[in-house]
Structure 1
Amino acid sequence: MGHTVSTPETVGFLLIPRFSMIAFTAALEPLRLANHISGRELYRWVLLSPDGTSGEASCGLRIAVDHGIEAAPHIPAIVLCSGIDGHWYEDRAVLSWLRRRAAQGVEFGSLCTASHILARAGLLNGYRCTIHWENLAGFSETYPEIEATGELFTVDRNRFTCAGGTAAMDMMLHRIARTHGEKLAVAIAEQLLHDKIRQGSVRQREAIQPDPAIERQELAAAVKLMLENIEEPLDLLTLSSRLGQSRRNVERLFRKFMNCSPARYYLGLRLQRARQLLCQTRMSVMEVAISCGFVSATHFSKCYRDYFGVAPRADQSSHRVRPLVEPTRQPAVAK
């Protein structure tokens, strides 16, 4: 049950360059509707950017903000909104400002890739968190000491993080229900045509529309085992044994429904994971190769080039040519 709050709760949204527009609006609109449906000002929001100029989303739209971070008033809860390349964001002025606000007891949230930024600032040490599934492997490799759950959203004391996209809506509806009651949260969801408020504990992959072929129980179990054994791949005999099926039947299923052999499908999963690590971490090609079950960089590079049409080192470099900020900038100087 919620409880009556006499003063509006203020939420700040810090727009990181190339933030996800859908995650931002999915988090903001439930607050607006909470005010509209209740007939009271339950929430206020303040839009921030690192330097006070308008925030640019990954789709190119720009949004006017209220303050740059240094001119911002005290805000009890701040949500970081990022998206494309958020895992490379290293604005020292922003990281320092976040640490100062944390020391003042500010509650922090993150949307999409922004958990990377909170982690880089040291604000997720000792906390559970989540991040978009596409960034999960890179995040876990970069911050092995932080428990990344892979859930739609994760709330741990004064940190609330979500996978982005429509998961931001579920997270904010959860916060509204906690403070003002489930009845209001359900009414907001109905206005948004959001047919079911999902729990944070839902795994992201369970919330994604699956490949119809993988809906077959036997294939789904096989793919799950493959994903759980990327660094030390299982041979087909071991995989079949763990599935309780014959090797011949597993081969038949993959040929019929996936149009490839189990080994080829498994290789694709490992290479896709490798690409995530190459493009989202500072791991070397050799380190990525080992993490994805390849015994030599030469074999890994050949497989990678055959699959993606580009060498791993070149692919890695192409994702690092445009840093989001110049990290050597002095903290007090605007961007």
Structure 2
Amino acid sequence: MLIDKKIEIGFLLFDGFPIACLTSIVEPLRAANEIAGQEAFCWSLVSELGQKVKSSANIGFEADRDLSDCQSIDILFLLSSPVAGFGDPKQGHGALRMLARHGTTLGGISGGVFPLVRAGVMTGRPVSVHWCYEAAFEAEFPEMDARREVIVFDTNRYTAAGAAAAFDLALHLIEDRLGSDIAHEVACWFQHPMMRGEGVRQQVPNVRHSGSGEKLPPLVAKSVELFAGSVGQPISIAEVAQQTGVTPRQIERAFKQATGLSPSHYYRAMRMKAARQMVVYTKDPIPEIAAAIGYSSVAPLVTHYRAAFGLSPSEDRRRINRFRVEDNAPLPSV
């Protein structure tokens, strides 16, 4: 299949972006060109002003162009950490909105969904949000339709949750452009077992498991789902029991057997993980974070946070800040 026009893709990089997300989409596109024997895809690195950008691993990347020189680009993906942003937000956001008006497809990979949404080009659209950024995203954008699906397509907006999802996204682009046979061969080149699409949910680690590799039992999995939906408005074990049609004692036994934790301790660990996302990836005051995960005061948050992570939320935030690559680019990012 000969392609008469190649697809030009830009990667708008911010300091602190994860390299894996870049290579996971570029490498399959490169392989597709080789297999097809033609340049079906081309790409370039973009930064706000054409400046050099440092990744989360502190490796520098030279930009091929600046954001004002992207009119010829068909698809522009944003790659960043959650708190990265433009040096001149008004101009940067305006440039993205102009590209959107002119028909450029826009997307965000992993933390790149944060500056994408801040630009105002995702209003009314669903967004794939990596599970480790979920609490921070919902705290900053409570009105957005944040989803745990690995990829979300919405007309000319593409979002993907992490590096493996970026690979899946590249396979979809290849399939649309060059057909399923070449997409399958690319997947085989990299031993990528399957191309995940819309509706596939992210794998999320358990707080603690037996290590057998088995999934959580249905009762425990359903309870965890209820916990996850009630991080900010705490739900009692009695309420979970009522909604699952069992007794609190049955839930206690099921959790102990499957996770080694009581359901209340498992739930607290989930809430602490959500709190830590907000500590690390937002600038919200600690009292607001406490309220966001259902605490009426800071004191119990500090007690439980210290028990979980060995230091207070404020100490943890100061520690993370010492690892910042630049002002708005913290580590880690995924």
1:56 is matched with which residue? Answer: 54
**Structure 2 residue identity aligned to 1:307:** A
Take 1:207 and 1:292, find their aligned partners in 2: how far apart are those partners?
19
Residue range with higher mean Cα deviation, 28-37 or 212-221: 212-221
In structure 2, what is the Cα distance between the partners aligned to 1:145 and 1:68?
Answer: 31
Q: SS state of the match for residue 8, structure 2?
A: strand
Report how far residue 255 of structure 1 moved: 2.6
Please state how far the C-alpha of 1:318 moved relative to its aligned partner.
Answer: 4.3
C-alpha distance in structure 1 between counterparts of 2:152 and 2:268, whole Å: 31
Aligned counterpart, 1:289: 290
CA distance in 2 between counterparts of 1:236 and 1:62 reads 49
- CA deviation after TM superposition for structure 1 residue 56, in Å: 2.4
Deviations 1:123-176 (A, max 9, x none): 111222112211122112211222111210111111111112110011111122
Aligned counterparts, 1:110-259, within 5 A: 110-205=108-203, 211=209, 212=213, 214-259=215-260
Change (3 A) 1:303 1:87: same
Letter of the 1:87 partner, please give it: V
> 1:87–1:114: 8 Å Cα contact kept in structure 2?
no
Counterpart of 1:45? Answer: 43
Distance 1:192 1:241, change over 3 A: same
Q: Alpha carbons of 1:269 and 1:317: their partners in 2 closer, same or farther (altered >3 Å)?
A: same
Gaps of 5+ in 2: 329-334
**Rounded Cα–Cα distance in structure 2 between residues aligned with 1:275 and 1:207:** 15
The Cα shift of 1:320 comes to 4.9
Amino acid in the other structure paired with 2:235: L
Aligned residue for 2:308?
Answer: 307
Amino acid at match of 1:290: A
Q: Is contact 2:8-2:73 (8 Å) kept? A: yes
Q: Secondary structure at the match of 1:229?
A: coil
Aligned-pair distance for 1:189? 1.0
**Which of 28, 31, 36 is matched with 1:30 structurally?**
28
For 2:96 and 2:146, locate their aligned partners in 1 and report how far apart those are by CA, in whole Å: 20
What is the CA–CA distance in structure 2 between the aligned matches of 1:205 and 1:241, rounded to whole Å?
27
Residue of structure 2 equivalent to 1:89 = 85
Q: 1 CA distance for matches of 2:52 and 2:23?
A: 16
Cα RMSD of the aligned pairs, angstroms, is 2.6
User: Structure 1 residues 132-141 or 277-286, which shifts more?
Assistant: 277-286
TM-score using structure 2 length: 0.87
* Letter matched to residue 87 of structure 2: D
3-state secondary structure, aligned to 1:86: coil
Q: Is the 8 A contact 1:138 1:276 kept in 2?
A: yes
Following superposition, the deviation at residue 242 of structure 1 comes to 2.2
Question: What is the letter of the counterpart of residue 200 of structure 1?
Answer: E
Shift of 1:66: 1.8
Is contact 2:93-2:118 (8 Å) kept?
A: yes
CA drift at 1:198: 0.8
Range that drifts further, 287-296 or 11-20 = 287-296
Cα distance in 1 for residues equivalent to 2:277 and 2:82: 14
Contact 2:131 2:204 in 1 (8 A): no
Distance 1:71 1:220 in 2: 49
Structure 1: 5+ residue stretches without partners:
327-335
Q: Percent identity?
A: 28
Contact 1:88/1:323, CA 8 A, preserved across alignment: no
